[in-house]
């Protein structure tokens, strides 16, 4: 029985999960829930050191065997079940989010490191599912675009948004994403639409569902 995604996930994440084949749906679901958990830690932190301490707890805990980790937390339990052996990518994701705790204004280097960290989590799915090098590259590029678009849609300052949009404009674009990973193609297509709108929310407007449908069918 597949894991039901959290209702707290963003609409675009729920769509990505819905378009993902059952064989990798649990792994993507728990990854997106973990990503959401990290994002909330960062966004709720007024003192960077406290945020770093909370992120360090996750990093340290993922560095020990699954059998020694605390139990009873949905995300922690899910990572132990679906991501055992993929901890390096999860730690890269933590490290990426930690860069968003940098002193404002957000620098281009920090923003790119953050985007690379979030992309690493998605790219690891390709390795877990036996994808080839081209698939890995395409998914990593899709993840980077998604991370930059997501950040641009949430930052409060116009200068930071402009910087994120500039980074996205020069970032490598994914080619066609193969069928097992079409949920990630949906995220990439919605992100491209957001970037073209200057950083609008990914599901903004009535055309978002059509963009998701096309990407889910065609892989781009």
Report which of 19, 23, 26, 10 is spatially closest to residue 218, judged by C-alpha positions: 19
> What phi, psi does 9 have (nearest 5°)?
-65, 150
pTM: 0.95
Written as tens digits, the pLDDT of the chain (220 aa) is 456 776 689 999 999 999 999 999 999 999 999 999 999 999 998 899 999 999 999 999 999 999 999 999 999 999 999 999 999 999 999 999 999 999 889 999 999 999 999 999 999 988 888 888 899 999 999 999 999 999 999 998 999 999 999 999 999 999 988 888 999 999 999 999 999 999 999 999 989 999 999 998 876 6
CA distance 178 to 41: 33
Task: Please answer whether residues 184 and 16 qualify as being in contact, where contact means their C-beta atoms are separated by less than 8 angstroms.
Answer: yes
Preceding peptide of 80 cis, ω within 30°: no
DSSP string, the chain: -PPPPPTTS-HHHHHHHHTS-HHHHHHHHHHHHHHHHHHHHHHT-SSHHHHHHHHHHHHHHHTS-GGGS--S-HHHHHHHHH-TT-HHHHHHHHHHHHGGGSSSSPPHHHHHHHHHHHHHHHHHHHHHTT--HHHHHHHHHHHHHHHHHHHHTT-S-HHHHHHHHHHHHHSPPP-PPPGGGHHHHHHHHHHHHHHHTTS--TT-STTHHHHHHHHHHH--
């Amino acid at each position: 029985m597949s894991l039901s995604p959290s209702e707290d996930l963003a609409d675009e994440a729920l769509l990505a999960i819905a378009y993902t084949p059952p064989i990798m749906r649990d792994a993507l679901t728990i990854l997106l829930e973990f990503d959401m958990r990290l994002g909330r830690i960062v966004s709720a932190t007024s003192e960077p050191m406290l945020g770093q301490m909370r992120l360090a707890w996750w990093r340290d805990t993922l560095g020990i065997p699954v059998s020694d980790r605390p139990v009873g937390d949905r995300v922690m339990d899910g990572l132990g079940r679906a991501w055992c052996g993929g901890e390096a990518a999860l730690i890269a994701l933590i490290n990426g989010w930690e860069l968003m705790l940098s002193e404002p204004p957000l620098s281009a280097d920090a923003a790119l490191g953050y985007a690379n960290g979030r992309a690493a989590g998605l790219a690891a799915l390709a390795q877990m599912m036996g994808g080839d090098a081209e698939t890995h590259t395409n998914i990593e590029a899709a993840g980077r675009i998604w991370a930059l678009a997501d950040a641009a849609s949430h930052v409060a300052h116009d200068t930071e948004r402009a910087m994120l949009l500039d980074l996205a404009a020069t970032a490598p674009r994914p080619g066609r994403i193969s069928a097992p990973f079409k949920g990630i193609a949906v995220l990439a297509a919605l992100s491209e639409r957001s970037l073209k709108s200057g950083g609008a929310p990914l599901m903004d407007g009535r055309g978002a569902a059509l963009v998701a449908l096309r990407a889910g069918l065609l892989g781009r």
